[in-house]
Amino acid sequence: MFALQPELKIFSGSANRELATRICKGIGVPLGAATLSSFPDGETYVKIEENIRGRDVFIVQPTCPPVNEHLMELLIMVDAARRASADRITAVIPFFGYARQDRKDKPRVPITAKLVANLLCAAGVDRVLTMDLHAQQVQGFFDIPVDHLYSLPVLIPYLRERLTRKRVVVSPDVGGLKMASAYSQALGTNLAIVAKQRKSATETEAQYLIGEVEGCDVLLVDDLTETAGTLTSAAKLLKKNGALDIYAGVAHAVLADVALERLQKSEIKELITTNSVPVRTVEGFTTTVLCVSELLGESIKRIHNDESVSSLFKIDSGTP
């Protein structure tokens, strides 16, 4: 006899409930009922309001600002689901906070990305579904399966329509070269790199350009922008080197106040990003937010049905 497939249940933390609602609508399942609140002293309280015994549970919660609050909420939701006898718990983390702290680059500093992975495993997570990790090696910090998605298939169709003239893909730093190369191949363009020097946690300086951008529209690509220092500094250098319109394609736009100010005054014409986190916008600056609910929803269905997720990475060749 074959065992019956456990029922699929999707719950959402408070970080991006709109995305979770869109995921549920797309795959035709209701969003699970859960109470999320805080005690007067700030402690998080969670109660799952329906039976999940033996269910295949997915909890959608990007760990975006306030990072610690959303991370703790996710851990508590996982613990509640485990103690309610869920069959399997998958943490759906469209944006994985602390991913930049993935190595010891100075004496006496933590590897916080590994600590967060340990916390998720200890809480009872059986599987992680995430997107555009800052460093792919973070997958190896988990002792459980990790499905790592990319926003590229979501952004590319829009970018093909938006960038119609001669175009170049630019990585705003050497570390983003692999991502920029993937966009360059998908769009059929040349590739350039901006070398930068970091002055502080919020300020960078673009020093020189490797490649040719004169007379071209430029797409700056990055996995994450928080202060927009890297992007705006690179855009200024690109303009000096003869670039025409400059666009920024970013998987996660975790925009602080300083980022909004910088973007408004920058040489960047448009920021194209996803709704992996709630996106702040600024008056007088064009921000296009593309929805990743279909990508995440299809991944959830495939994980639930024990099907391959890797085929979701493929995109059609299109017309360069």
- Copy the structure tokens of residue 135: 């460093």
Of the candidates 226, 204, 206, the one whose C-alpha atom is nearest the C-alpha of residue 218 is 206
DSSP letters for 115-167: HHHHHHHHHT--EEEEES-SSGGGGGG-SS-EEEE-SHHHHHHHHHHH--SSE
Q: What angle do CA 22, 25, 27 make, to 5 degrees?
A: 110
CB atoms within 10 A of CB 209: 18
Amino acid at 109: V
The alpha helices in the chain, defined as continuous H runs, are: 17-27, 67-83, 112-123, 152-162, 177-187, 229-240, 257-265, 293-304
Cα–Cα distance, 256 to 276 (Å, whole number): 16
Spatial separation of the C-alpha atoms in residues 309 and 96, rounded to whole Å? 19
Torsions phi, psi for 239 (to 5 deg)? -60, -40
Structure tokens at 161: 């329509």
Choosing from 47, 166, 196, 239, the catalytic residue is: 196
The H or E element that residue 209 is part of is: strand 204-210
Is there a catalytic annotation at residue 106?
no
Residues labelled as active-site residues: 196
